[in-house]
Amino acid sequence: MDLSVIVPTFNEGPNVAELVRRTTHALQDRAVEVIFVDDSTDDTPDIIRAVAAASEIPVRLIHRDDPKGGLGGAVVEGIRAAASDRCVVMDGDLQHPPEVVAELLARAEVGDVDVVVASRYIAGGTSDGLANAVRTTVSRASTLLTKAMFPRKLSNCSDPMTGFFLVDRRSLDIETLHPRGFKILLEILARKQMRVAEVPFSFAARFAGESKASFSQGMRFLTQLTMLRFGRMSAFAVVGGIGALANLAIMWALQMVGVQYLVAAVIASLVTIVANFLALEYLVFADMRAESGLMRHRFIKSFTFNGIEAIVRIPVIWVLVSQAHIQSVLAAALTLIAAFIVRFVFHALVVYAPKKSRAAKIARIVEPLEDELAA
C-alpha cells in the first residue's frame, strides 16, 4: 500500500462519493486506501458503506459511537488503523483538493522529510475558499500567533493550522499525542522537531454541507496552543485568571448598585465557580473526562471544594479589609491569587483523577505536575 488517506467526517454524507471519485482518479497508478473516521449523527456512515461497495479502491469506515479527542482524536485513530506508513490527512468537505494528494506523496517519496504540508501561504497557494474576510483574518492571525509561540519548531512551516498534510507514521510517537481539537498538525509539529516540506494548494469552497467552524472550536484551539506551549497548569491559570477578573467585575458591579461587599463577594464566587467548572470541563481537562467518572460527580467535588475555599477566603477578605485596611476588591484579588495552586492540585489529583488504580493514578498526575511546577 503506497498511501492511506485519512478523512475525519462529521455529517459530511453529500461529499463522500465525490471525494472518493476524485481521489481514485488522482491516484490511478497508486495502491491507495481511503479511511473515513466518522463521528456523524446522520446517515453519513450508510453513505460511506454504499460508496465503499462500489469503489475501485479500498474504502474503510471507522464509525465512533463515543468520539474522543474531536477531529484530532479521529485522525490519530485513523493513523493507527492505516495500512501504509505514509498517511495523508484531509477534510471531508473537498476544500482540500484530492488532486494535491499525488503531489504530497511524490514529495514524500524523495525521502528527506517526515511531514509534507499542503500550504495556503506559499507561492502558488491561496485561501480563497474561506467563507469571508473575518475567517481569513482569523486564520492569518492564528497562524502568526502559533508561529510566534513555536518559532523554532515551526520555522520551516508556513501553514501549521492546515488540516491537509502527509505524515510518515514511523516519525511519530503516537502515544504522546493528546489531541484536544481540530489542529492535529500543530499537535504533531509542536511536540517534536520534524523535517517538513511544503507544496502549495488552493483552499477551495465547500462542495456541499455547512462549515463546522465555531466559537467553541476557537476556544479549544487557544487552549490547545496554551497547553502545548506552557502545559496544563498554564491553561488552568488562564481559565482561573479570566474567572478571577469576572469575579472582581461582578463584585464591583454589585457594589455599585448598593450590595454590601461581603454579599457581593458571595454572589460573585457562586457565579464564577460554576463558569470556571464548565471551562475546566470542556477546555483544560477535556482529555481526562472519560476516565474520571460522571460529570455530576466531578461538579460536586469541584463545587464543594470551591465552596469551602470561598468560605475560608471570604473571612480572610474581611480581615484584610477591616484590620489591614486594604481596599475590598484588592483584598479579593490577593486571596484569589493565593488559592490558585491549591485549586489546581485538587482538580488534577481529585476531580479529574482516573478511576483506575490509585498508585497509577497518582503517578500519572504527579509526574507531569512536578515537571510543570519545575518549569
Residuewise pLDDT in 10s, the chain (375 residues): 899 999 999 888 899 999 999 999 999 989 999 999 999 988 999 999 999 999 999 999 999 987 777 788 899 999 999 999 999 999 988 889 999 999 999 999 999 999 999 998 899 988 776 655 666 677 777 777 777 667 678 878 888 888 899 999 999 988 877 666 557 888 888 888 899 999 999 887 655 555 555 556 556 666 666 666 566 667 777 888 888 889 889 999 999 999 998 899 889 988 988 998 898 888 778 777 877 888 888 899 888 888 788 788 878 888 888 888 888 888 888 887 777 767 776 787 788 877 654 444 455 555 555 555 555
Q: Quick one: 254 and 188 in the same domain?
A: no
**Is 284 inside any structural domain?**
yes
Distance CA 341, CA 294 (A): 24
**Is 223 inside any structural domain?**
no
* Total domain count, the chain: 2
3-state secondary structure of 278: helix
Burial group, residue 260, by CB count within 10 angstroms (0-12, 13-18, 19+): exposed
**Is 221 inside any structural domain?**
no
Q: Quick one: 286 and 340 in the same domain?
A: yes
Distance CA 262, CA 225 (A): 37
pTM for the predicted model, two decimal places: 0.60
**Is 217 inside any structural domain?**
no
Q: Quick one: 365 and 246 in the same domain?
A: yes
Segments forming the whole domain that contains residue 310: 231-374
- What does the buried/exposed string (b/e) look like for 335-356 if buried means 16 or more CB atoms within 10 Å of the residue's CB? bbeebeeebbebbbeebbbeee
Q: Quick one: 96 and 206 in the same domain?
A: yes
Q: Quick one: 116 and 189 in the same domain?
A: yes
Neighbour order of strands in the sheet with 196-200: 59-63, 32-38, 3-9, 86-89, 165-168, 115-119, 196-200
Domain boundary among 212, 243, 273: 212
Q: Quick one: 169 and 42 in the same domain?
A: yes
Q: Cell for 195?
A: 523535517
Q: Quick one: 187 and 312 in the same domain?
A: no
**Is 296 inside any structural domain?**
yes
**Is 220 inside any structural domain?**
no
Question: Taking the CA of residue 335 as centre, how many other CA atoms within 13 Å lie in the half-sphere pointing to its CB?
Answer: 25
Q: Does residue 350 contact residue 343 with C-beta atoms inside 8 Å?
A: no
Distance of CA 291 to the CA centre of its chain: 18
Q: Cell for 125?
A: 497557494
Closest residue by Cα to residue 200 from 112, 99, 114: 99
Residues near 87 by beta carbon (within 8 Å), at least 6 away in sequence = 3, 4, 5, 6, 78, 79, 166, 167, 168, 169
Burial group, residue 79, by CB count within 10 angstroms (0-12, 13-18, 19+): buried
Distance CA 179, CA 91 (A): 16
